[in-house]
């Protein structure tokens, strides 16, 4: 917990715990105490190993509005070093979030500092005890604040599965009886170990192994055992690079790397459905409008779990139950990045089908969320997307055909704001492999980094990580394309591993910045809408709509669910092609749901028959009636032909109306076949052809 400091300040200054606000007015007469709190680091801890962003939360109080601080004026560091400026997006704007972190009804200010800058410019190091923040208010008043710096070195380790590592800390052991002396020697050489515990703390090792075995039996290939993943925490004074190098050289260790840092998400109600171009017919959108007209295509029976920091379940156009949070106490939602990102994603998929707001592409799907913010045994929380996905695999909520959407990214080798797909983290890759092995479809947003996944920099432990010929997690990788010509947008990652694209800008949905309705006033939280959501974060749910519609149709028609890659094959074969200018930077086509569904349709056509009728006769049909056949295929691929036969004879292709000659009981059987080869069950009409001629 952040430590608070109160200091008596001379006339004209404002006394606050954690932050000192210096009154800018020349007429200030007395000091006023303001309840403001500054905390630095996720769960008030800073990992000195690796790269990434460190959050700093400046909390508002009754007498202090933290959102009035000018983010560009802020510096954070030790008094001796001066300080580092907040990290910035590629366009030069400061990465800042205004959100109610502590739930007191007031928006707080969350800034993010590059760990490398904090080290070089801010003086952050093993001996740092405190960090000081300084800056200015919008009216020119100065602020300063201090927070205790609790530093450490935290690593993620995958031990060789053949060792069957179990236990923790002093009880760490190989159930195969193998010696761990070399591992112990490295750790002993570098100082005291604070914790060496399983990464997945919410599921037992035995259950994780059982899940891996189940997935392997289902797929016929090896599936990672998440019980082999551990988290190592050591004192801040250790040489992190040396520990990493020595552990990586051991045969007992498959992967070892610094614990990754979380990265910020890319940033009476009228009817806004007319603005949802991403759901319109191809080539503009994915044509989810087409699917919503058939109840079997609206997502019924399919669960979608979104890996998300936070979301607003009470938005007027979502109205989700609290049970939509699958993480519960084990993975509490992280409020430092606000809830508007998750709210926007949910709206694209599951906005209610009503007379206002937006309508999701699959409004009948069951929507859930889980935050990767794992609560550890020591009471702290840690950004742990791999364990969160393993938890989803184990908690029994998801079945084959259900979908998990990864709405997060991670730092690429180019730096903390050049983002990579989340599965660049080895523990996440393994967890995805487990989920897909269990039959769960995983959609992965490809990241806003403008990097090529085929670049050699994406090599880890000798493995070309995103080369599908080398390894494949089974996820559907999504890039961000233009809403008009479907060219790759400049920020989107790309490469051979990318499967499909979705709109990456101009998305109208719930929540986000409220620039369509609601603004940023906290009172309008439940009625906010945006017209400018985007990034690969927006592309992911657009594509997920198509995936869910297909799985929903398969389930409704009694078929087994498809794997993610089977769905990709259909969507790539039928999609709207990527724009020609960026075709060499692959993000894939935009799904065309109507074309895809027609390709996989299993509904047979429906045929009808009509016999010529004489209005002035008591006899239903004239002697030797004329039979006319017709067939319709609904939204399907179209009727290929109609067939018929008389009195059990051979089937004939219907080409034109035909006359049924001869007296007595006659039977006509008829059926239709569509262009997918779906054959209608034969219909039968039996009638008596009168012996007495009827004049026409």
- Helix (H), strand (E), coil (C) string for 255-283: EEEECCCCCCCCCCCCECHHHCHHHCCCC
CATH topology of domain 281-600: Rossmann fold (3.40.50)
Token pair belonging to 681: 């069950």
**Cα 89 to Cα 96: distance, rounded to the nearest angstrom:** 10
By CB atoms closer than 10 A (0-12, 13-18, 19+), residue 248 is: middle
Segments making up each domain of the chain, as ranges: 13-149, 152-258, 281-600, 606-689
Res. 23 pLDDT band, cuts 50 70 90: very low
pLDDT digits (tens, 9 = 90+) for 363-395: 999 999 999 999 998 889 999 999 999 999 999
Does 195 score more than 60 pLDDT?
A: yes
Distance of CA 366 to the CA centre of its chain: 15
What does the pLDDT average to over 536-562?
97
Evaluate if pTM is beyond 0.85: yes
Contacts of 10 (CB under 8 A, 6+ apart): none
Task: Identify the CATH number of the domain defined by range 152-258.
Answer: 3.30.70
Q: How far is CA 439 from CA 211, 281, 431, 498, 564, in A?
A: 12, 30, 13, 20, 9
Write down the residue that tokens 């935050």 correspond to: 371
What does the pLDDT average to over 85-91?
87
Tell which wins on pLDDT, 258 or 692.
258
CATH topology of domain 606-689: Immunoglobulin-like (2.60.40)
What does the pLDDT average to over 138-144?
83
CB 421 within 8 A of CB 323: no
pLDDT digits (tens, 9 = 90+) for 257-315: 999 999 887 655 556 667 787 777 888 887 787 878 899 999 999 999 999 999 999 99
CB 94 within 8 A of CB 70: no
CA-wise closest residue to 99 among 267, 234, 222, 216: 267
- What pLDDT is recorded for position 514? 82
- What pLDDT is recorded for position 29? 36
Sign of CA dihedral 306, 312, 314, 317: negative
Does 558 score more than 60 pLDDT?
A: yes
- What pLDDT is recorded for position 35? 38
What does the pLDDT average to over 326-340?
90
- What pLDDT is recorded for position 27? 33
What percent of the chain has a predicted confidence (pLDDT) above 90?
70
CB 18 within 8 A of CB 147: yes
Is the N-terminal amide bond of 283 cis, ω within 30° of 0? yes
Q: Are strands 108-114 and 53-58 parallel, antiparallel or unpaired?
A: antiparallel
CA dihedral 71, 76, 82, 86 (to 10 degrees): -50
- Number of helices (H) and strands (E) in the chain: give both, helices first: 11, 37
Tell which wins on pLDDT, 24 or 334.
334
Res. 696 pLDDT band, cuts 50 70 90: very low
CB 79 within 8 A of CB 145: no
- What pLDDT is recorded for position 280? 76
**Cα 406 to Cα 587: distance, rounded to the nearest angstrom:** 17
Distance of CA 490 to the CA centre of its chain: 21
For residue 27, give the H/E element and its range. none
Average pLDDT, the chain: 89
Contacts of 606 (CB under 8 A, 6+ apart): 631, 632, 633, 634, 672, 680
pLDDT digits (tens, 9 = 90+) for 601-659: 999 999 999 998 655 455 555 678 999 999 999 999 999 999 999 999 999 999 999 99
Sign of CA dihedral 419, 420, 422, 428: negative
Sign of CA dihedral 432, 458, 94, 586: negative
- What pLDDT is recorded for position 650? 97
What does the pLDDT average to over 122-134?
89
Other C-beta atoms closer than 10 Å to the C-beta of 573 total 12
What does the pLDDT average to over 425-430?
98
Res. 693 pLDDT band, cuts 50 70 90: low
By CB atoms closer than 10 A (0-12, 13-18, 19+), residue 629 is: buried
């Amino acid at each position: 917990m952040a430590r608070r400091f109160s200091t008596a300040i001379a006339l004209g200054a404002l006394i606050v715990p954690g932050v000192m606000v210096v009154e800018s007015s020349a007429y200030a007469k007395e000091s006023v105490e303001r309840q403001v709190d500054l905390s630095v680091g996720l769960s008030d801890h800073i990992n000195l190993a690796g790269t990434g962003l460190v959050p700093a939360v400046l909390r508002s109080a009754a007498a202090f509005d933290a959102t009035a601080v000018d983010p560009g004026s802020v510096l954070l560091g030790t008094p001796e070093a001066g300080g580092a400026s907040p990290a910035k997006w590629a366009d030069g704007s400061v990465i800042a979030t205004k959100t109610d972190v502590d739930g007191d009804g007031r928006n707080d200010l969350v800034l993010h500092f590059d760990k490398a800058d904090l080290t070089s410019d801010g003086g952050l190091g093993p001996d740092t005890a405190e960090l000081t923040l300084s800056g200015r208010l919008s009216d020119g008043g100065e602020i300063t604040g201090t927070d205790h710096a609790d530093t450490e070195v935290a690593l993620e380790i995958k031990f060789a599965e053949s060792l069957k590592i179990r236990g923790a800390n002093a009880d760490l052991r190989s159930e195969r009886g193998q010696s761990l002396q070399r591992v112990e020697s490295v750790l002993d050489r570098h100082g005291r170990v604070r914790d060496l515990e399983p990464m997945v703390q919410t599921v037992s090792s035995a259950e994780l192994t059982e899940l891996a075995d189940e997935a392997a039996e289902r797929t016929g290939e090896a599936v990672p055992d998440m019980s082999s993943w551990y988290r190592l925490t050591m004192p801040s004074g250790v040489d992190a690079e040396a520990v990493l190098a020595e552990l990586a050289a051991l045969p007992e260790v498959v992967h070892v790397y610094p614990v990754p840092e979380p990265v910020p998400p890319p940033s009476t109600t009228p009817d806004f459905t007319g603005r949802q171009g991403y759901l319109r017919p191809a080539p503009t959108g994915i044509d989810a409008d087409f699917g919503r007209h058939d109840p079997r295509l609206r997502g019924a029976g399919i669960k979608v779990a979104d890996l998300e920091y936070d979301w607003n379940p009470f938005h007027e156009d979502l109205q989700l139950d609290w049970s939509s949070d699958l993480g519960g106490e084990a993975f509490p939602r992280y409020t430092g990045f606000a809830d508007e990102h998750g709210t926007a994603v949910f709206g694209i998929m599951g906005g209610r089908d009503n007379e206002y707001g937006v309508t999701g592409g699959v409004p009948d799907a069951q929507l859930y969320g889980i935050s990767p913010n794992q609560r550890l045994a020591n009471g702290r929380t840690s950004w742990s997307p791999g364990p969160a996905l393993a938890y989803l695999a184990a908690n029994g909520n998801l079945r084959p055909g259900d979908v998990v959407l990864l709405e997060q990214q991670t730092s690429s080798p180019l730096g903390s704001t050049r983002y990579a797909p989340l599965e660049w983290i080895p523990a996440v890759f393994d967890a995805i492999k487990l989920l897909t092995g269990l039959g769960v479809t995983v959609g992965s947003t490809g990241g806003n980094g403008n990097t090529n996944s085929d670049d050699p920099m994406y090599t880890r432990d000798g493995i070309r990580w995103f080369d599908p010929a080398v390894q494949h997690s089974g996820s559907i990788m999504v890039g961000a394309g233009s809403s008009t010509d479907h060219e790759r947008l400049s920020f989107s990652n790309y490469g051979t591993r990318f499967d499909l694209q979705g709109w990456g800008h101009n998305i109208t949905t719930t929540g986000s910045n409220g620039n369509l309705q609601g603004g940023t006033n906290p009172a309008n939280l439940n009625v906010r809408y945006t017209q400018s959501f985007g990034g690969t974060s927006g592309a992911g749910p657009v594509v997920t709509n198509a995936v869910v519609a297909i799985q929903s149709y398969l389930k409704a028609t009694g078929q087994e669910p498809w794997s993610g890659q089977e769905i990709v094959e259909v969507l790539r074969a039928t999609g709207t092609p990527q724009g020609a200018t960026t075709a060499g930077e692959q993000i894939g086509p935009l799904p065309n749901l109507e074309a895809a569904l027609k390709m996989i349709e299993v509904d047979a056509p429906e045929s009808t028959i009509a016999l010529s009728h004489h209005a002035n006769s008591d006899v239903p049909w004239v002697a030797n009636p004329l039979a006319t056949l017709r067939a319709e295929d609904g939204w399907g691929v179209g009727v290929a032909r109609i067939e018929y036969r008389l009195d059990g004879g051979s089937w004939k292709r219907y080409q034109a109306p035909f006359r049924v000659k001869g007296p007595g009981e006659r039977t006509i059987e008829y059926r239709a076949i569509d262009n997918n080869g779906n054959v209608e069950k034969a219909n039968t009409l039996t009638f008596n052809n009168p012996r007495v001629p009827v004049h026409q």
